[in-house]
Amino acid sequence: MNILLLSSLASAALAAGQTHKTDCQHLTAPNVPGATVLSINGTERWNYTVPALRPFLLSPVSGLNFCDVTVLLTHAGAKDQVTVKVWLPLQDWNGRFQANGGSAYAAGEFDLTLGPTVKAGYSSSSTDAGVGFNPETPSPWALKADGSVDFDALINFSYRSIHDMAVVGKELTAQFYGTKPKYSYWNGCSTGGRQGMVAAQRYPDLFDGISVGAPAINWAKYVLAEQWPQVIMQQEQTFPSSCELKFFSDTAIAECDGLDGVKDRIINDPEKCHYTPYQSVGQEVDCDGKKVTITKSAATVVANALQGPVDTSGRPLWYGLNAGAPLDSLVNTTAAVNGTLAGYPFFVNDEWIKYFVVRNPDYNTLEINATTFVDLFWKSYIDYDSTIGTDEADLSSFHQHGGKLLMWQGLSDQLIFPGGTVDYRTRVERLMGGRHKTNDFFRLFFAPGVDHCGFGSTIGAIPDDPFGALVNWVEHGKAPDSIPATVNDEAKAKRIVCAYPQRAEYIGGDVNSAASFRCA
């Protein structure tokens, strides 16, 4: 952009009336308890565009005018350098602050979340937790030179960075505009959802409202449980193709789709679906013109993915997937050079086992058998639950501070098992005085047929704006009993998703209209 255009944009902003008090270049280092600020740099950006990057940001965000602040900080004895980015709208700040979470092994997504948040008028922050931005692997930071786990880096990733980014973001917001944000929010899904639960559990006074999607709580258990289908594939020496896996999911949907009175390729209540993969044994499937017969071993693999891992006595260790959920992430295979299929573990569980549980980057997770799996499962829990578990059910401090928590998840989530989310909610109710009292500050919504964080190609009722429902709850006291949703198909049918334990019930009329459903 040329200097004349920049000048005209700045002049237009001044004519419209700036809403900030301090120049972007003259912000001072914030006070961050437990950390030392190494540097702070601010730059005005005009007519800035954040390009799309699927699946995180589906469309570019353009026309952004903001103060771009980068803060570097460190923690005593940690030998770390953490980056916190804060974007402050130069115009039309809405008086609110919103912190954003990350995904997989990335604590933050920077521009990908900051752009849409600033576009909506919020001041916003994101962090790399000192571990960089690589969602796919913790290899650059997990282990020290001597092969031991870098617990300072893991603590940053697990919880400390959530506190730091919120403190930095809110203080710089107050400096820039001359007033504190009237409301502060957290928004994130998956790892971002886990981070939101960190705030509710460890730092209950940071946010007025916390929106969490598909929260990766119970990390030390559920991530190991993701490896279970690969263990069974090795045990059975059976590696179903993606075509076969889709057949199992499609068959479950076909059998249970109409249980709610609506044929829409969505299983509204998986608990009522009694499909078993073994009933499909012997059936022929057309896979790219080749006839494939479903074997008992293939059914065993899928049945174990739906059941979840068990110990050597057959006792459940964790939850499994819901019938009809996609299977291609956890029951994943890859073709060898000779064309035969082999197991291909999902990267999150594969990397966690290598770097944190076994502490050997060269470890082959495909060699894990049922007995080894149980040992690794409990080692992961014992060594790391207190650091990254994020499943503390006592939310009394968050409730006492007046915080509101809105959680949602797809019932066809193939990465984070919905049963674990139900387990958490149940434990919170037990500690917080029952369902009615818990609903005063914590509401959970399950979206039928929806995959992880609304990604993927499943046909499900994706909530339209759970974060907006949270804001309305915090600022206007309107606790949501349901959230509008849109079915991910060509018709874009309108639905509602209901506060747990209720489900959307069809009451007659146009199946494409939300008015034809009620919570029951």
Coil vs helix vs strand at 516: helix
Q: How confident is the model at residue 42 (pLDDT cuts 50, 70, 90)?
A: very high
Q: Is there a cis peptide before residue 501, judged by omega within 30 degrees of 0?
A: yes
Q: Which amino acid is at 519?
A: C
What CATH topology corresponds to 3-218+388-483? Rossmann fold (3.40.50)
pLDDT the model gives residue 17: 41
What is the end-to-end Cα distance of the chain in Å, rounded?
56
Answer yes or no: are the C-beta atoms of 519 and 499 closer than 8 Å.
yes
Q: Which two tokens stand for residue 269?
A: 């209540």
Answer yes or no: are the C-beta atoms of 55 and 10 closer than 8 Å.
no
Coil vs helix vs strand at 62: strand
Please give the Cα distance from 293 to 478 (Å, whole number).
Answer: 53
Residue found under tokens 């000048």: 7
Strand partners, 290: 287
Task: Tell me what the mean pLDDT of segment 447-455 comes to.
Answer: 95
Nearest Cα residue to 309 out of 354, 357, 374? 374
Q: Which range, of 12-16, 89-93, 94-98, 412-416, averages the lowest pLDDT?
A: 12-16
Domain range summary for the chain, segments of one domain joined by +: 3-218+388-483, 223-384
Global pTM reads: 0.94
Q: How confident is the model at residue 360 (pLDDT cuts 50, 70, 90)?
A: very high
pLDDT the model gives residue 129: 97
Mean of pLDDT over the chain: 94
**Cα 152 from chain centroid?**
23
Task: Tell me what the mean pLDDT of segment 141-147 comes to.
Answer: 97
What angle (nearest 5°) sits at the alpha carbon of residue 515, between those of residues 512 and 520? 110
Please give the Cα distance from 236 to 298 (Å, whole number).
Answer: 8
* pLDDT surpassing 90 at residue 456: no
Which amino acids are annotated catalytic?
Answer: 190, 413, 452
Q: What are phi and psi of 120, to 5 degrees?
A: -85, 0
2 vs 406, higher pLDDT: 406
* pLDDT surpassing 60 at residue 109: yes
Q: What is the pLDDT of residues 277-299, one digit of tens each?
A: 999 999 999 998 999 999 999 99
Please give the Cα distance from 317 to 170 (Å, whole number).
Answer: 41
Nearest Cα residue to 366 out of 226, 242, 238, 234? 234
